[in-house]
Each structure stands twice: as structure tokens, then as C-alpha cells.
């Protein structure tokens, strides 16, 4: 029996032209119009504009949320709902939306505030490490209170976050095949986001979280949950907490998921899943053409 999960990518998966092929679809058109009223700018214009602009946190996060939500809605029209959902960082908001925890507009207002706060964050640094010595890295992080493991993406890929000095110190000492400093404004998913997270809580508290119709694996706590209050508490910790994507992938296997579909632009999560979940059937739906093929298959 096929058991399916849908996963939603976060910042870094954005691409010029994403979502544009959906603009004539009635469902998509309505959501693009709703989004423009809430945001005060056009998602389609940003997605067809300058790459530097689209890559700015202020625009990236709302654009990804809107485009991924549209694709997920259209996918639900063509197939049955998945048994589990999860999203990487920003993608968790789409997972919560499609599972019925909040409506599209409420989710977008949260993402709008999140993107504003995160784009203003300053004084931090993030860096990605590929093919590294995990035990050595964990020891270095344990010895330095100003750096944390922000994204545990897979056994061979992580992102560290913290003060510039602390991140640079770890980069200088850790053994890794590749070390890449990320072009971000702040130390996302670290305690340095505490002030922004505090400001975000007041907005989060004003949004009603329903119980989920589909169990959600959260970034900070990768176990299936459906209770609205629990999912809200988990999301409240996300801005300062680590993205435990490696554990989410392990959980997919433990929950006997046989097929995972990445819903959104790119194949970043699919690449991670391919290496971590051997034998799992993987698919990506990021374009109208991919959706149409699904309908004709």
C-alpha cells in the first residue's frame, strides 16, 4: 500500500519564473490577487523580476508561501491527500496551511511578519558545511556558546549559525570538504533571533490554530502531531530553533512512507531524500506541466 508524504522547500529554492505558469488558473489567480492585497505588492511581478530582489528575505518567503500553497491546492484537486506533511523552515507554513491548521490569508500574514523581522535581523552569520566530521563539529559547537547547528539537513550537510566571530572560528577549525558562507542578513534559527522571535509571538498569538487534518512533522520536533495548540507551540520555537530535517527524513522512513512528493520549485529536498531514504519513490511538482502530467498519468 502506498503511503505518501508531501514536503515543502524553504528559502534557497526560489527561482525566477516560479509560479508564473499558474497565473491563468482560476484558483491561482484568486490567491495571487489575495496575496497582493495582503502584501501590498505582486508576487507574480517579483517572480518575473530581478533575481537579487527575489532572493531578498522580505520577498522570498511570501513568494514561496504563495506559490507552494497554490501548487498544493491544485495537487489536492488531482490526487488524494498525503498521510504526512513537513516543510523546511518557511515550508512548514505551507505544510500547516495544507493540513488545515490555518487559512491561506492567516498563513500569509504570519509569513509577511516573519519575513519583515528576519530581513531586519543583523549581526549574525551562517555557513553551510558539506562532508564534514560530525563528532568534531558537535564538540566545537558545544565549546562555543555563540554558535549553533541551525539546519541539520542530512548526515553530510549542515548549516551553522551564530555571531560572525564564532562562526568563523568553527569554520577555521572544522574538517569539511566544502565550507560556504551564506548570503543572509542574520543568524537565522539561532538564539540571536530571540528579539525577532519575541516580536513575532504577539502576531502568532492572534492567529487561531485548528487541529490538523494531516499529521505534521515540525522542524523543531519531528514527530507527527495534529493538535493545533501543540503545532502552534512548535512553530513559536522555529525562529530560534534548529531545523531537524535529517530527523524528519528518518521519521518518514519510521512512519513507513513509501512515496514523497516535493511540492514547490526546485529539487533541494528531493536530493536530500534520495541519499537518506533509499528505495523511497520520489517526485517533484513545481510546474503546471508537472501537474498536467500527473492528471494524464
3-state secondary structure of 125: strand
Torsion of CA 269, 272, 275, 277, to 10 degrees: -60
42 catalytic, yes or no?
A: no
- Is residue 274 within 8 A of residue 78, CB to CB? The reply is no
Q: Which of 189, 190, 197, 218 is catalytic?
A: 189
CA 184 – CA 223 distance, rounded (Å):
29
Cell of 51: 533575481
Give the Cβ contact number of residue 145 at 10 Å: 11
Binning the chain into helix, strand and coil, the percentages to the nearest 5 are 50, 15, 35
Q: CA nearest 129: which of 183, 189, 89, 176? A: 176
Q: Where are the beta strands (DSSP E) in 119-265?
A: 125-132, 147-154, 157-162, 176-181, 216-217, 259-263
Q: CA nearest 72: which of 47, 46, 93, 49? A: 93
What counts of helices (H) and strands (E) characterise the chain? 13, 9
The phi and psi torsions of 200 (rounded to 5 degrees) equal: -70, -30
Q: Which of 13, 89, 161, 190 is catalytic?
A: 89
189 catalytic, yes or no?
A: yes
Q: CA nearest 87: which of 258, 260, 288? A: 260
3-state secondary structure of 203: helix
CA 33 – CA 231 distance, rounded (Å):
28
What residues are annotated to the active site? 89, 189
Amino acid at each position: 500500500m502506498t503511503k505518501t508524504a508531501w514536503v515543502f522547500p524553504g528559502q534557497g529554492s526560489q527561482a525566477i519564473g516560479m509560479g508564473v505558469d499558474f497565473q491563468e488558473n482560476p484558483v491561482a489567480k484568486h490567491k495571487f490577487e489575495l496575496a497582493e492585497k495582503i502584501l501590498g505588492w505582486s508576487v507574480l511581478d517579483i517572480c518575473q523580476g530581478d533575481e537579487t530582489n527575489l532572493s531578498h528575505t522580505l520577498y522570498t518567503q511570501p513568494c514561496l508561501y504563495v506559490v507552494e500553497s497554490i501548487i498544493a491546492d491544485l495537487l489536492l484537486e488531482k490526487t488524494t491527500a498525503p498521510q504526512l506533511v513537513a516543510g523546511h523552515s518557511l515550508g512548514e507554513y505551507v505544510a500547516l496551511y495544507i493540513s488545515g491548521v490555518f487559512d491561506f490569508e492567516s498563513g500569509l500574514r504570519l509569513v509577511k511578519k516573519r519575513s519583515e523581522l528576519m530581513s531586519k535581523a543583523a549581526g549574525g552569520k551562517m555557513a553551510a558545511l558539506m562532508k564534514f566530521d560530525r563528532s568534531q563539529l558537535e564538540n566545537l559547537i558545544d565549546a562555543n556558546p555563540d554558535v549553533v547547528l541551525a539546519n541539520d539537513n542530512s548526515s553530510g550537510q549542515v548549516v551553522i549559525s551564530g555571531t560572525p566571530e564564532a562562526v568563523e572560528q568553527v569554520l577555521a577549525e572544522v574538517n569539511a570538504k566544502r565550507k560556504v558562507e551564506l548570503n543572509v542578513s542574520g543568524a537565522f534559527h539561532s538564539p540571536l533571533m530571540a528579539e525577532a522571535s519575541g516580536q513575532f509571538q504577539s502576531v502568532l498569538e492572534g492567529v487561531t490554530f485548528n487541529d490538523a487534518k494531516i499529521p505534521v512533522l515540525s522542524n523543531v520536533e519531528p514527530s507527527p502531531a495534529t493538535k493545533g495548540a501543540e503545532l502552534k507551540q512548535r512553530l513559536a520555537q522555529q525562529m530560534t530553533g534548529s531545523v531537524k530535517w535529517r530527523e524528519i527524513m528518518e521519521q518518514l522512513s519510521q512512519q513507513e512512507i513509501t512515496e514523497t512528493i516535493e511540492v514547490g520549485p526546485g529539487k533541494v529536498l528531493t536530493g536530500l531524500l534520495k541519499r537518506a531514504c533509499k528505495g523511497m519513490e520520489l517526485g517533484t511538482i513545481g510546474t503546471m506541466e508537472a501537474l498536467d502530467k500527473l492528471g494524464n498519468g
